[in-house]
Amino acid sequence: MSLDSTPRQLAKKTSPLLAALAGVATLLLLRALDAMHLWAVAILAALLTETVSTLITEWSAEKLLQRRVKDLSDAISQSSNVEEIHLEQQSLNDILTWANNQIDDIKSLKAKDSFRKEFIGNLAHELKTPLFNIQGFILTLIESDLTDEKMVRRFLEKAENNVSRMTELIEDLDTITKLESDSLALTLAPCNIIDTCKEALEGIESKAQKMDIDVRLELPEVGMRSLHVLCGPVQIRQVLTNLLVNSIHYGKQGGQSTLRIETKGETVRITVEDDGIGISNQDLDRIYERFYRVDKSRSRHAGGSGLGLSIVKHIIEAHGQTIKVKSKLNKGTSFSFDLVNLEAEAEKRNIRFDAPEIS
């Protein structure tokens, strides 16, 4: 049945043919029976056949068409339901994703707010302590006999020490702010790392003597005088100083701090190691946070801004490297990082390395 034919049209097309065939068949039957005088029976049979076949054909075609329409409708309905279910599932997934994102954002905001409050509290404490000390020394001087030159000098020296502590804190805050905002220029240049290490050791020598800590330098080869790396010389000297000061603050009386240089193929590894109080596993995850202190009472008494390790981490990461730490309680701690070995690179390229000395 063609798509443009109705059941009635189909019946009208097929019924005359069936009627003609019925009439011819009736005539042949009458002739065989020698009853041609009953020719009207053939005409009657043809008319009856046409009427009946029209009704039967129309009914059959209509039923067939209805069944096909129903099957098509069911298929469309089923397809629509599947699509609707898919859309509902997709909408549900979108809602869940949005909700999870909102929860993550809320947690992040709470963490940032908690960090902000803790940071402000720590900063206030760090500034308050030396400021109150200075105020106390000045008030003591005002209320005392200023003719006692020895006492006046002693109190002024104590006030000056607290001013230096505040200055160090403010300078470290300025440094870490610039590092975090990427506004601190980092110029990489060839640097004799042995000289830089010696300069850092000289800078903390007096602190080490006060704590009776032996600070030593270990080189890849005995008597080695130069080993050039690619780095920001000023920043790396600050890193070494901060790590050495940290090893002294958390060292033990009469202990030892070691600054070690090792060649590792294309890199040079720098390690600062001590045999001090060590760091617990729960503290290791937080040592790079600003103002976080492993032993608060001891480190504040020893001095320091509480920003040293945070600055170290930012500077090393600015060099494309990672600061690593290993520690055991009451055994000691070691910090290490790598720098590009320029001399190994020069040897690989078969060229003579002649780097300028950078102070």
- Residues 236 and 120 grouped into a single domain: no
Name the strand (E) or helix (H) holding 257.
Answer: strand 256-264
Q: Is residue 219 in a domain?
A: yes
pLDDT of residue 256: 92
Q: Is residue 228 within 8 Å of 190, Cβ to Cβ?
A: yes
What is the span of the domain harbouring residue 53?
A: 7-86
pLDDT in tens, 184-233: 667 888 999 999 999 999 999 988 998 899 999 999 988 888 899 999 99
Q: Percentage of residues in the chain with pLDDT exceeding 70?
A: 58
Q: Is residue 336 in a domain?
A: yes
- Residues 290 and 330 grouped into a single domain: yes
Number of domains in the chain: 3
Domain boundary among 180, 209, 233: 180
pLDDT in tens, 74-119: 666 665 555 555 666 667 677 667 767 767 766 666 665 665 566 5
Of 265, 256, 245, the C-alpha closest to 218 is 256
Q: Is residue 68 in a domain?
A: yes
Of 262, 278, 291, 285, the C-alpha closest to 334 is 278
Q: Is residue 103 in a domain?
A: no
- Residues 207 and 343 grouped into a single domain: yes
Burial tier of 321 (Cβ tally within 10 Å: 0-12, 13-18, 19+): middle
- Residues 54 and 17 grouped into a single domain: yes
- Residues 78 and 223 grouped into a single domain: no
Q: Is residue 54 within 8 Å of 15, Cβ to Cβ?
A: yes
- Residues 172 and 273 grouped into a single domain: no
Q: Is residue 299 within 8 Å of 242, Cβ to Cβ?
A: no
Q: Is residue 107 in a domain?
A: no
CATH number at residue 138: 1.10.287.130
Q: Report pTM.
A: 0.58
Confidence class for position 183, pLDDT limits 50, 70, 90: low
Domain boundary among 180, 199, 234: 180
CATH number at residue 266: 3.30.565.10
Q: Is residue 249 within 8 Å of 304, Cβ to Cβ?
A: yes
Cα–Cα distances in Å, from 69 out to 7, 61, 62, 84, 308? 14, 12, 10, 22, 80
Domain boundary among 69, 86, 103: 86
- Residues 329 and 243 grouped into a single domain: yes
Of 256, 139, 145, 237, the C-alpha closest to 193 is 237
Q: Is residue 104 in a domain?
A: no
Q: Is residue 95 in a domain?
A: no
- Residues 170 and 253 grouped into a single domain: no
Bridge partners, residue 272, by sequence: 259, 335
d(CA 158, CA 139): 13
Q: Is residue 148 in a domain?
A: yes
pLDDT of residue 155: 86
Instruction: Tell me the chain's radius of gyration from C-alpha atoms.
Output: 48
- Residues 174 and 254 grouped into a single domain: no
202: tokens are 């000289």
- Residues 161 and 233 grouped into a single domain: no
